[in-house]
Amino acid sequence: MRYENNGVRDLSIAYIGGGSRGWAWTFMTDLAMDGQLGGTISLYDIDREAAEHNRVIGNALTARKDTVGKWNYKTADSLKEALTGADFVVISILPGTFEEMRSDVHAPEKFGIYQSVGDTVGPGGFLRAMRTIPMYVEIARAIRENSPNAWVINYTNPMSVCVRTLYTVFPQIKAFGCCHEVFGTQKLLAAMLKDQKGIENATRQEIDISVTGINHFTWITKASCRGMDLFPLYRNFAKKHYETGFCENTDSNWMNDSFACAHRVKFDLFLRHGLIAAAGDRHLAEFLPSWYYLKDPETVRQWMFGLTTVDYRIQDLHKRLARSKRLLSGEEQFELKPSGEEGILLIKALLGLKDKISNVNLPNRGQVANLPLGTVVETNARFSRDSIAPVFSGSLPNDVLGLVMRHAVNQAGTVEAGLRKDRDFAFRVFQNDPRIALSVNDARQLFDLMVENTQKYLNWD
Amino acid sequence: MRYENNGVRDLSIAYIGGGSRGWAWTFMTDLAMDGQLGGTISLYDIDREAAEHNRVIGNALTARKDTVGKWNYKTADSLKEALTGADFVVISILPGTFEEMRSDVHAPEKFGIYQSVGDTVGPGGFLRAMRTIPMYVEIARAIRENSPNAWVINYTNPMSVCVRTLYTVFPQIKAFGCCHEVFGTQKLLAAMLKDQKGIENATRQEIDISVTGINHFTWITKASCRGMDLFPLYRNFAKKHYETGFCENTDSNWMNDSFACAHRVKFDLFLRHGLIAAAGDRHLAEFLPSWYYLKDPETVRQWMFGLTTVDYRIQDLHKRLARSKRLLSGEEQFELKPSGEEGILLIKALLGLKDKISNVNLPNRGQVANLPLGTVVETNARFSRDSIAPVFSGSLPNDVLGLVMRHAVNQAGTVEAGLRKDRDFAFRVFQNDPRIALSVNDARQLFDLMVENTQKYLNWD
Amino acid sequence: MRYENNGVRDLSIAYIGGGSRGWAWTFMTDLAMDGQLGGTISLYDIDREAAEHNRVIGNALTARKDTVGKWNYKTADSLKEALTGADFVVISILPGTFEEMRSDVHAPEKFGIYQSVGDTVGPGGFLRAMRTIPMYVEIARAIRENSPNAWVINYTNPMSVCVRTLYTVFPQIKAFGCCHEVFGTQKLLAAMLKDQKGIENATRQEIDISVTGINHFTWITKASCRGMDLFPLYRNFAKKHYETGFCENTDSNWMNDSFACAHRVKFDLFLRHGLIAAAGDRHLAEFLPSWYYLKDPETVRQWMFGLTTVDYRIQDLHKRLARSKRLLSGEEQFELKPSGEEGILLIKALLGLKDKISNVNLPNRGQVANLPLGTVVETNARFSRDSIAPVFSGSLPNDVLGLVMRHAVNQAGTVEAGLRKDRDFAFRVFQNDPRIALSVNDARQLFDLMVENTQKYLNWD
Amino acid sequence: MRYENNGVRDLSIAYIGGGSRGWAWTFMTDLAMDGQLGGTISLYDIDREAAEHNRVIGNALTARKDTVGKWNYKTADSLKEALTGADFVVISILPGTFEEMRSDVHAPEKFGIYQSVGDTVGPGGFLRAMRTIPMYVEIARAIRENSPNAWVINYTNPMSVCVRTLYTVFPQIKAFGCCHEVFGTQKLLAAMLKDQKGIENATRQEIDISVTGINHFTWITKASCRGMDLFPLYRNFAKKHYETGFCENTDSNWMNDSFACAHRVKFDLFLRHGLIAAAGDRHLAEFLPSWYYLKDPETVRQWMFGLTTVDYRIQDLHKRLARSKRLLSGEEQFELKPSGEEGILLIKALLGLKDKISNVNLPNRGQVANLPLGTVVETNARFSRDSIAPVFSGSLPNDVLGLVMRHAVNQAGTVEAGLRKDRDFAFRVFQNDPRIALSVNDARQLFDLMVENTQKYLNWD
């Protein structure tokens, strides 16, 4: 790569999971709108054809007159080919098929365990981790061999487990995990300013926050905007909308949209603990025992968030496949609208073009003072030229620590289980998840069933 | 005090809770049988009459020809009087009356929560802690003022919370907590040697163990006797007796005795986690969610341990009161039989008479590598002249850490709640206990009821 | 205080050492040029008259038409009066008179120890610390009593020792230490860009750095500007100017100016260790053994920096006293020119007006991974509304750690000595300073002499 | 191996450096006197003939009627052969020849640096480390491959560096370092009891101590015997003999014996710091700057310890070679007298035959609270069946920490330098040694000279 006119040319980016019909398109579009960067993107995917399609779609974007970020899209036949010479590596893969995901999300329902996402913690998150870890072992080794100095951006879930696996296999890796869940809560706080103070024009970026915790179970310990402390306002806001929920800031309604929520879980957690939980309610609920928010579908309805079904995800994929076809044929074009994601900004910060503070997932070196060192935690960090420096976020209060710590411990156990491939040990970690409030026999039945369902990705005895 | 003929004379011991009709008698008897020590014991108790009775009983022991340890028993009118000049302080108090204990143990039953002891963790342990902490604040301050260099031995439960409170209030205190639960497991291992290898004469003291964890939820990570690794033997032993339990080593049967057990919980934990849990099953069960061993009385019966009722404890007290009367009148005398407790041995080690390794409760300075610093943990320590040095016990495996860590975090929260006296914060910590698997409304009802029942010891708003 | 029109009014600032004729004037002038802030400044000084003069000078500034920051200056008769109600506290005091400073700087010369500043480490820094610590104990207690929630900004040297004393006495204090030494090195890097690349317009603020170490012995581990890595450039730069020194960026020449230097020490340290030392050479030299740069005046001349004499300081004070007179009478007015100091910017960041990254002195909570926790270290931190969050700076390389660690250990010992007032212990710490390469007898003679000279501020036995 | 009659048979011990004519003979003799152990010892040495001689000598010992420990001595042609199947590994090698040692010890004299041993720290210790580290890398790898579960006992100097290298290369290694220097100080304390209290029969084993620090620079922080605190006695003792030295307990006089001393250094350190330094004065002196005890030969004489010359060592070797010849021919036999070394006792403890507390060198996991984790430190540890558990020794006081910490940091740097083989980095670490009080040019000259002298063992560029 080379610096030129306050920009960087000839960048080399490897995109693992480059056939993606979600993140990849967002990323391509954001890049196309940014004139400071340019170079080559090497798409690697085990679905070779999907990567090939994205190559065509990407180069079409470059060919458009109204794009300023010009990239040359290629496909790669191997991890090695994709990674060699890379300055940045993006990882955004889908571990397994909808078949395995169906087991992750729905198999536990037979045992009375309902999941709103099933990709982070709980029985679904655990099994997904078991499938994902061996893939990440392979990726980490390939990076160590082929691009040890590249910056590696992970988008895959379970986020904490993926990032921890990378660091376990290759401790010198320059990897971090990006997630936009916190942004949603910043938007909620901006909406709150309108609701509480009539301030219409506050942007997400103006909501200054201190974030701490672990991915999808992050907590805002300080929030301000234009010098105002937002905590007293949020207390009123949470009380006002506690019963009915707050839906106004969302683009869509929680009843119709698997990804929406009315923030009742968030309000409840705030009224109990005094901190602002910073993720969608669907994610938050999964970190807590079933008797909190996920007891049964009726309870979930009362808390006003949706259970994402795999059927929904399949439907959604069909839509995206159809769209891919249209994009490939030129029948449709991407709209050049900023996604609101910060990936490109972080890359630019790492290139030294403009430093940035953002929330990020990294191994704990003390940025969360009372979680174990090595736990992948989510806090603010400062991104600058070839550097990500975590910003100290202090200690979690003891009551919230009680909720978060068990997931920190399980994170370590989950990665160990995925690496060891010891079925009994894996079961013991599985059983420590707060959602698995089952007798040991029931827990084992569920575990064995789910292992069976995802067996071909595990190759366990 | 002065050293003389390989012994120490003119020792001064303050006994807080000196009216005790259990520990105090054991302690007095052990002292009476040991000729190396002598001096004065100052008995302090809020039940002045009980202390007075023990003074008479103690001095009668000194007057006996067949005792070699001669002590002068006094009573003290205040903590200050008892502590001034003390070389050692023993604390063994009963926080509250049976009325409060009845609430601790039985109030949660209305919400389906059964407790086998109710004095350590769970709802009963938490409320007992709330009553106890203010007393320990007062004791710690009195020690800081009157005997800052004395060694302080705690026997009161909840052990970890008591010791942590002492160190929080007076960080330079030389305090430690003694508990005999681990000895019971050593005895079980000795009995196992007979069962498995036909070795009849192995003593508890020969069972060399490495202990780690927190009081009443300790784990043996290594055990040997005469060069033999006991873990393979214990695996066979646990399997052999898993279904039927093992009762032979106990003096009494679990069906008739509130304190006995058949070790099925211990065997179950071993078969799952590969470590030997080292406490009575009644204690162990309370650290785990209800669906493990304490779901309901029927489940408890299957696991073959008893629920200690408060009625039992009241009956037991009546027996001890009657015995006190007989001892006072001279109608009965203590039998001079070693108790098996190590308190006297530890005092002698601290006096430099003979060093000793024993398990002890102390703030974590790294002796348990993966529990938070400051957590009161139970590990081996070396006792020598004016010194207790913890022995490094390593890290708990991640699966067991998942069980122990939440109690470590709750320990910190419990002490904070007891010191802050903030009802809402206290509730949040209460709710994090793994036994309290209730909806927030039910949990709050239970909490408020139990606070009400013990209100006069709390003086909360 | 209240927020209004994107600014804050009715702020209350306590200025301890408010009679200062240096920092105070800079601070007043910077405030006068900033329209976002306003309120009251309470000047406290043991030299009551000096504070009174600054009150008049300050209010004259407020009365000027060309100032936009309007402040009401008062004097306070006691620490308590100054602190009560303060939102911010500034501490900038001179511990002792020139008489003591003369001893600090010059007494060691008899033993062949030459000092270029004598206020940080070495014999002079140590004795100055002994005088200063009791004053800071008093200040910390007064803050704890009267303004525990105020942000406290320290400018006094020895910086690390002052800040550490504040935190030792009142652990919850919100104090930090500000020092501009690092800015000088940023300016040098900007000048280097001209020298090496012909870039004329790079500003100090554009030089992005990662700072680590301890005050006056800080190290830049990463530096960039506009995407360029500055380290390769600095290597060439240091080699090019190694022999002759580099003087062009300084306002004055090292030969005529006690505060100037030709950066030869900095270049030498870079060529040896590969990191950019980030303070004036006069300060850096004092952290290293005498055989490096301060062997004798001739050696100092070869390294091209000046030994600040106390005579120079006295002359300088006379100039400032004369200027004070002119300011008081109105004969002279402050020029409204930004000082380049960041104090006001940091205050505004803490008020939530605009967040800022800057280097700052704080107790180590992991921001320097391999210095002991609690050491007052200097690293970047993020300043935002009511928050200073250290930014992680990683580990010092082992060779540089060897240079820095001994000062970290001595810092702890120095504060302990100042608090304990134990002459023998103090001597043992004194003797550990790398500049004191004397036989124990000589070291003790020097120590006793210096203690004698500053005795009235110590009240030691 | 197998347990039998309270002993262990068929043990397999690998002895690396098995041609040794010092340690090996001591070890063989101790084993021959102990009837609880038996098995095979595999001698490996790059001097094949020396190993062969020891094989013959060892088997002759086994053949004697008056020996009870019967061992079969073999030689091995490779590390792999020696290690395969080993239960224990003993490492006691001489890195380099007397030629290199002559450079280590005497080359620095040209620069005014006198060394009393030259094998631990200072210029000699550093160069010796550079030669030794590559050998230990090879050994660690061989152990990882061939006997990963064996216990590894190191006797080679520089002790800390050797042990740290083993753990750096193979973190799971079960290695520890044994050194008898501390025993000498225990003997001194026993002699003191005679001198001060007329107690004649106190044995070394009765002197109970708490040890902390790093090898050859260890400190006793508590010492007692039969309940007595030895510190007040030692204060009187040190004062009494400060000027004249104390020679009575040594077998030989410091004037005639390179290894003897009169303890004046020890007394001086005690009178300054209040802790008992626990190594021979020759070793202690090397950890301190030259102006303490090693300024020049005259100063050394005043402090009453000897400079061990290489000529002395060569003479000594000739004696041992002659003795080897006599032993080989049967002309001479070992006297069956206990050596006082604890190696055999530690092996028996690790076999579970009898637990033991002893001082040992291990990576710091918190046993010295204020030295960096990972530093190889010397403290007490408890040896029991298949376990070495460090005993916590607390924090060093800040003044002593100032002396020890710089060696802890240099230890890390030294191992890094030995692994990296980067000449410039190595020089930077070399220069941080407190004995190297030279201008950078002189230091570099000395360094380059010494590297040249030992070049064939380094293979540096």
pLDDT score for A253: 57
CA–CA dist D162, D179 (Å, integer): 13
The alpha carbon torsion through C412, C414, C417, C423 (nearest 10 deg) reads 140
How many CA atoms does the CB half-sphere of C28 hold within 13 Å?
A: 33
pLDDT score for D252: 55
Q: Which of residues 171-200 of B touch D (CB under 8 A)?
A: none
pLDDT score for A432: 95
Asked if the bond preceding C289 is cis, omega within 30° of 0, the reply is: no
CA–CA dist B251, C208 (Å, integer): 74
| Residues of B labelled catalytic | 180
Q: How far is B60 from chain D (nearest CA, A)?
A: 30
**C-alpha distances out from residue B352 to A459, B33, D211, D228, D417, Å:** 59, 19, 17, 7, 45
Q: Which residues of B touch A242 (CB under 8 A)?
A: none
Q: Which of residues 255-284 of B touch A (CB under 8 A)?
A: 268, 272-273
The DSSP letter of residue A336 is: -
pLDDT score for C461: 76
> Exposure pattern of A265-274 as b/e (b: 16+ CB <10 Å)?
bbbbbbebbb
Q: Which residues of B touch A447 (CB under 8 A)?
A: none
User: Which one of the listed residues A53, A180, A241, A283 is annotated catalytic?
Assistant: A180
CA–CA dist C340, C184 (Å, integer): 10
φ, ψ for residue B36, nearest 5 deg: -80, -20
Q: Which residues of D touch B391 (CB under 8 A)?
A: 382, 389-392
Q: How far is B183 from chain A (nearest CA, A)?
A: 27
- Mark yes or no for CB contact A398/B409 under 8 Å: yes
pLDDT tens-place string over residues A364-388: 999 999 999 999 999 999 999 999 9
| H helices present in B118-241, as ranges | 122-146, 159-169, 181-197, 230-241
From the list D228, D355, D367, the residue facing B208 with the nearest CB is: D355
* Residue-range domains of chain C with CATH: 2-179 (3.90.1820.10), 181-308 (no CATH)
In the three-class reduction of DSSP (H, G, I as helix; E, B as strand; rest coil), residue D419 is classed as: helix
Report how far apart the first and last C-alpha atoms of chain B are (Å, whole number).
47
Residue-level pLDDT, tens digit, chain B, 461 residues: 999 888 999 999 999 999 999 889 999 999 999 999 999 999 999 999 999 999 999 999 999 999 999 999 999 999 999 999 999 999 999 999 999 999 999 999 999 999 999 999 999 999 999 999 999 999 999 999 999 999 999 999 999 999 999 999 999 999 999 999 999 999 999 999 999 999 999 999 999 999 999 999 999 999 999 999 999 999 999 999 999 999 875 555 555 565 678 999 999 999 999 999 999 999 999 999 999 999 999 999 999 998 888 898 899 899 999 999 999 999 999 999 998 889 999 999 999 999 999 999 999 999 999 999 999 999 999 999 999 999 999 999 999 999 999 999 999 999 999 999 999 999 999 999 999 999 989 999 999 999 999 999 998 87
pLDDT classification of D253: cutoffs 50, 70, 90: low
Q: Do chains B and C touch (3 or more CB pairs under 8 A)?
A: no
ipTM score of complex: 0.93
Q: Which of residues 281-310 of C touch A (CB under 8 A)?
A: none
**C-alpha distances out from residue C231 to A87, C270, D70, Å:** 20, 10, 65
In chain A, which residues have pLDDT < 70? 249-259
B399 lies within 8 A of chain A by CB: yes
User: Which one of the listed residues C53, C106, C180, C283 is annotated catalytic?
Assistant: C180
At C76, list the tokens: 């306070």
The DSSP letter of residue A391 is: B
pLDDT above 70 (res D255): no
Query: Radius of gyration (Cα) for chain A, nearest Å?
Result: 22
Residue owning tokens 């070396």: B382
The DSSP letter of residue C110 is: G
CA–CA dist B178, B181 (Å, integer): 9
- Mark yes or no for CB contact D229/B386 under 8 Å: yes
The answer to whether A239 touches A411, Cβ cutoff 8 Å, is: no
In the three-class reduction of DSSP (H, G, I as helix; E, B as strand; rest coil), residue A250 is classed as: coil
Residue owning tokens 């089952």: A438
Average predicted confidence (pLDDT) for chain D: 95
- Mark yes or no for CB contact D384/B210 under 8 Å: yes
Strand pairing category for A174-177 and A217-225: unpaired
pLDDT above 70 (res D256): no
CA angle C324–C330–C336, rounded 5-degree value: 80
Query: Radius of gyration (Cα) for chain D, nearest Å?
Result: 22
pLDDT score for B181: 93
* DSSP output for B387-411: EEEEBP--PPPHHHHHHHHHHHHHH
**C-alpha distances out from residue D31 to B65, D28, D68, D340, D361, Å:** 51, 5, 8, 12, 22
**C-alpha distances out from residue C360 to C160, C213, C382, Å:** 11, 11, 9
The residue of D428, D429, D444 whose CB has the most chain C CBs within 10 angstroms, and thus the best one to mutate to test that interface, is D428
Q: Which residues of D touch B386 (CB under 8 A)?
A: 222, 224, 229
At B96, list the tokens: 């509250």
At C405, list the tokens: 């660690």
- Mark yes or no for CB contact B409/A425 under 8 Å: no
pLDDT score for C257: 61
pLDDT score for D257: 61
The answer to whether A368 touches A395, Cβ cutoff 8 Å, is: yes
Q: CB-based contacts of A4: which residues, under 8 Å, 6+ apart?
A: none
The DSSP letter of residue A342 is: -
Nearest-CA neighbor of D60 among D92, D28, D85, D91? D28
- H or E element, residue A230: helix A230-241
Residue-level pLDDT, tens digit, chain C, 461 residues: 999 888 999 999 999 999 999 889 999 999 999 999 999 999 999 999 999 999 999 999 999 999 999 999 999 999 999 999 999 999 999 999 999 999 999 999 999 999 999 999 999 999 999 999 999 999 999 999 999 999 999 999 999 999 999 999 999 999 999 999 999 999 999 999 999 999 999 999 999 999 999 999 999 999 999 999 999 999 999 999 999 999 875 555 555 565 678 999 999 999 999 999 999 999 999 999 999 999 999 999 999 998 888 898 899 899 999 999 999 999 999 999 998 889 999 999 999 999 999 999 999 999 999 999 999 999 999 999 999 999 999 999 999 999 999 999 999 999 999 999 999 999 999 999 999 999 989 999 999 999 999 999 998 87
pLDDT score for D308: 81
Interface A:C, Cβ pairs < 8 A: 104
pLDDT score for A252: 55
**Rounded-to-5 percentages of helix, strand, coil across chain B:** 45, 20, 35
From the list A227, A352, A394, the residue facing C351 with the nearest CB is: A227
Nearest-CA neighbor of A182 among A152, A223, A153? A223
User: Which of residues B460 and D419 earns the better pLDDT score?
Assistant: D419
**Rounded-to-5 percentages of helix, strand, coil across chain C:** 45, 20, 35
CA–CA dist D319, D299 (Å, integer): 30
Q: How far is D152 from chain B (nearest CA, A)?
A: 19
Residue owning tokens 């009385």: B297
pLDDT score for B251: 54
D441 lies within 8 A of chain C by CB: no
- Mark yes or no for CB contact B437/A437 under 8 Å: yes
Q: Which residues of B touch D357 (CB under 8 A)?
A: 355, 382
Average predicted confidence (pLDDT) for chain A: 95
If you measure CA to CA, which chain D residue comes closest to C292? D439
If you measure CA to CA, which chain D residue comes closest to C374? D370
